[in-house]
Amino acid sequence: MSNAAESTRSLIVERVFPHPPEKLWRALTESRVLAQWMMNNDFEPEPGRRFQFRADPMPNWNGIVDCEVLVVEPQRRLSYNWGVGSGELQWLVEWTLTPVDGGTHLRMEQSGFGPDQQQAYQGANYGWQKFFGQLEKVLGGVE
């Protein structure tokens, strides 16, 4: 049932849940439900909406994630950017829902891009993927 695939290109975690896409969509987009498995938040499913996830502060992290909603396709696709450390580090978090036999396949992909590239995030995302792809050989020697 559970499958987590990760690489250094970007982070991908996916799983099939025995629930319909409508229910998963609610868990991803209703602020109160979202808070139960992610973090406290003021999320609204509207493109351009700026919101925050708030957790308890930790060493090296003030507990706040600054986000902006990018894509809302009900029951199919949701994405927002994910900024930590006063916008120094920006990530893109993309959720994809696909109906499958007996449930929904949920895929989360987190990829990185610089704060100067928010406008063209897809291009920047490609840049990182290409970058990490080329570094795979190098990283083989690190681990």
Partner 1 sequence: MQSAKANPVFRALADPTRRAIFEELTRQGEQTVHALTRRAGVSQPAVSKHLAVLKRARLVRHRRDGRETHYRAQPDALAPMVDWLNAYGAFWRERFNDLEAVLERME
Residues near partner 1 (CB under 8 A) are: 2, 4, 6, 8, 11, 13, 15, 17, 19, 23-24, 26-27, 33, 36-38, 55, 58, 60-61, 65, 84-85, 88-90, 106, 108, 110, 112-117, 124, 127, 131, 134-135, 138-139, 141-143
* Least Å from the CB of residue 13 to partner 1: 4
User: If we measure between CA atoms, which residue out of 43, 81, 86 comes closest to residue 63?
Assistant: 86
Q: Please report, for residues 46, 111, 114, the alpha-carbon distance to residue 94 in angstroms, rounded to integers and kept in the order given.
A: 15, 9, 16
- Work out how close the CB of 99 gets to partner 1 at its nearest, in angstroms, rounded to a whole number: 15
β-sheet bridge partners, residue 41: 53
Q: Toward partner 1, which CB reaches closer, 22 or 42? A: 22
CA distance 1 to 18: 9
